[in-house]
Chain A
Amino acid sequence: MSPLFEFQATLSRLDDGLETLHASVQQLRERTGRPVDDRNLMLFEIALAEIGANVLMYGRKPNSSDRTVEYKLRADSETASAFFTHRGPPLHNQLKRAMPAPTSETGRGLAIARKVLDELGYERDGEVNIWRLVKRL
């Protein structure tokens, strides 16, 4: 199915990067006429912000000249998919984290993303991490 919506950006700073992620979902919402309370798109945005924040905070090689993250978002009438590609340390050991106890102040991000997405893919190709987030809309 050909995409109804495509967005692509290079992210570097955490604050600007997160702003871009939210702006891209807002564009998708407007382009496809989905209301702000569309639950599946809301769940997708929640997962996108969690994975995006993790990648921007922990996924990049310190002191490297290439600290950018390539971000792509695409959607057709049934599915939204996002991709993050970045050089950095492997992050797969974080993927299986369970939801922590209610009193814990940290450690929920990936557990939330896993819970709300239909697919959360992670691949490592040499020094490059590739994340794939898929949600049926």
Chain B
Amino acid sequence: MAMTLDVQSRQTDKGVTVIAPSGRLDVTGAPTLKDAISEAVKDGQPRLVIDMEGVSFVDSTGLGSVIAALKLVRSSKGDLRLAAPNQQVRVVLELTTLDRVFAYYATVEDALTDF
């Protein structure tokens, strides 16, 4: 069985970490994202963009990992933005009213502006 989620991370020249999961962000994929986020917030005041473009499907556990990330980042006085969620991800954010909690941006470039 192939892994449901692959995660790539990169750092911009302004020190923002862009984490790009790809695949299904669900109960089986969420731990992989959590690990990548823990790694990214180890030092300093993290500024994180999660690039959701490659996420084909999110479930409540996957969403929980993003909420955990937001709490972790804010507890370190950093911040987190979501970029490029597809329609399914946006629908789940609306259903759970988490669209009021997460600022999300159409593209990674938009998310990085003034961050």
Contacts from A to B (Cβ < 8 Å): 13-16, 18-19, 22, 37, 39, 42-43, 45-46, 49-50, 53, 57, 99, 102-109, 112, 115-116
Given A37-B87, A42-B88, A49-B26, residue A112 in contact with residue B96 (CB < 8 A): yes
B30's nearest neighbour on chain A, judged by CB, is A105
B-side binding surface: helix, strand, loop or mixed? helix
A-side binding surface: helix, strand, loop or mixed? helix
Taking the complex as formed, is B47 at the interface, i.e. its CB lies under 8 A from any CB of chain A? Answer: no
Query: Would you give the shortest CB distance from A114 to chain B, in whole angstroms?
Result: 11
Q: For the complex, count residues of B whose C-beta is within 8 A of A.
A: 26
The docked-state distance in angstroms from the alpha carbon of A14 to that of B61 is 13
Interface residues in B1-18 (C-beta closer than 8 Å to A)? 1, 4
B56's nearest neighbour on chain A, judged by CB, is A22
Query: Would you give the shortest CB distance from A40 to chain B, in whole angstroms?
Result: 11
Could you say which residues of chain B place their CB within 8 Å of the CB of A50?
Answer: 59-60
